[in-house]
A and B are shown apart, each in its own frame.
Chain A
């Protein structure tokens, strides 16, 4: 358990340092995804498999896809083809690929070696989390849903562009 924690923690710190120091936004995004995956392995190692799955699905999946969309939207034009060309060079993806390969090896090792979680780890599964979330924290869950609705409406309002005015009123008024 300890070796998994230290390796994943080292990968998380290294990937975060590379995230902060890269110049190209797509490089930084790839390293940020690696950092989130490393934290997800740490969650699994700490006996929180539900949160580990959510970290992969929501953080590394949904939120990072939003970032990738925005980064891709922001360099449209003649830069886009050059950026696409740069994406295919091995120097772009070899660093994140190596780090993710280490994480994958750790995860496979955790699954193959253990099978059942060891008794010392005291896993807190999704059942207990769900009982707490919709029991004691029911009001918090409702507030989180309202926050997500507010975020949805806010993002829609900010992204809304006015349609060009159609000159109908002048034409109908001679």
Chain B
């Protein structure tokens, strides 16, 4: 018998670790990595649910999450490079001033 409930618990634990990373870390690269952890945990929940009901839908949604993560990371890392070029720092506290 597959450990369905434990799979969801693992997904929740990984998601909360990602949330902690986003809230605690100040380096913007670490924030992006924590977002990746959260997306991966959500995908794990979808795949576990798809296994539970024996449908391929969960894996299809995981593919969508994968495509979304790839697009998000490419734009996010381009923004990180631009911010580093502009502020010479990766600290998010340095970048909390808006123009205006």
Contacts and interface: CB of A to CB of B under 8 A. Distances in A.
Interface residues of B, number: 56
B56 A131 contact: yes
A121 B3 CA distance: 11
Contacts of B71: 147-148, 150-151
A68 to B, nearest CB: 11
Say what secondary structure dominates the interface of chain B.
Answer: helix
A25 interface: yes
A63 B70 contact: yes
Interface stretch (A41-49, A86-94, A96-104, A166-174): A41-49
A48 B50 contact: yes
Interface string B3-44: 100110010011001101100110101101110110010001
B24 to A, nearest CB: 7
Contacts of A1: 2
Contacts of B10: 9, 12-13, 42
A70 B85 CA distance: 12
Grouping DSSP codes into helix (H, G, I), strand (E, B) and loop, the A interface class, with mixed when no group exceeds half, is helix
A159 B78 contact: yes
A36 to B, nearest CB: 6
Contacts of A5: 2-3, 6-7
8 contacts: A19-B21, A19-B37, A28-B30, A32-B36, A48-B51, A70-B29, A154-B78, A158-B82
Interface in A15-41: 16-17, 19-20, 25, 28-29, 32, 35-36, 39
Interface residues of A, number: 60
A124 interface: yes
Interface of B: 1-3, 6-7, 10, 13-14, 17-18, 20-21, 24-25, 27, 29-30, 32-34, 36-37, 40, 44, 47-48, 50-51, 54-60, 62-64, 66-75, 77-82, 84, 90
A151 B21 contact: no
Nearest to A1: B2
B36 A66 contact: no
Contacts of B13: 13
A17 to B, nearest CB: 6
Most chain B CB within 10 A, of A16, A131, A147, A150, is at A16
B1 A120 contact: yes
Contacts of A129: 56, 59-60, 63
